Structure 1
Amino acid sequence: MKLKHNIGKLDRALRTLLAIGIALLYLFDIITGKLGISLMLFAIVLLITSLLNFCPLYRIFRFNSCKFDPKS
């Protein structure tokens, strides 16, 4: 099953920057403990969805931040 892209360029860039920011905060021990681990898991999800250009939650809520239709 091929995933339709539903994440636009700006959305993708913001997700990547946020994931990198969270990772840096964790690596420099600014966020620690359970909160740090939870945020790192969230950052991993953000990074994976930005690399795939697909967000399952967007599909559930029928949201699309892409400006083009990859089919056409």
Structure 2
Amino acid sequence: MKTNVGSIDRLIRLLLASALFYLGLFHYSGSALGIGLVVAGGVLMVTALVGFCGLYRLLGIQTSQTNEQL
């Protein structure tokens, strides 16, 4: 699986994921919104750590640099 998420994009995803986790676990805990925020944060965390986003692939977006672009 080729990576399609760049380093700046990964950093933004990690920061956003931590904010969503915080909101979901502390401010909206026990509600459907809180569960949704935690799930969304988990998806962002996984895509940031793996470096691959399925939605980016479907849309043809690539924020990582490859050898062809250099």
Report the TM-score when normalising by structure 1. 0.84
What are structure 2's unaligned runs of at least 5 residues? none
Aligned length: 68
Equivalent residue for 2:54? Answer: 56
Amino acid corresponding to residue 31 of structure 1 in structure 2: Y
- Runs of 4+ aligned structure 1 residues displaced above 3 Å come to none
CA contact (8 A) 1:26 1:40 kept: yes
Equivalent residue for 1:6? Answer: 4
Amino acid corresponding to residue 55 of structure 2 in structure 1: L
Report the TM-score when normalising by structure 2. 0.86
User: Percent sequence identity over matched residues?
Assistant: 37
CA contact (8 A) 1:19 1:46 kept: yes
Task: Provide the aligned C-alpha RMSD in A.
Answer: 1.7
What are structure 1's unaligned runs of at least 5 residues? none
Q: Which structure carries more helix by proportion?
A: 2
Mapped partners of 1:70, 1:37: distance in 2: 40
Amino acid corresponding to residue 28 of structure 2 in structure 1: I
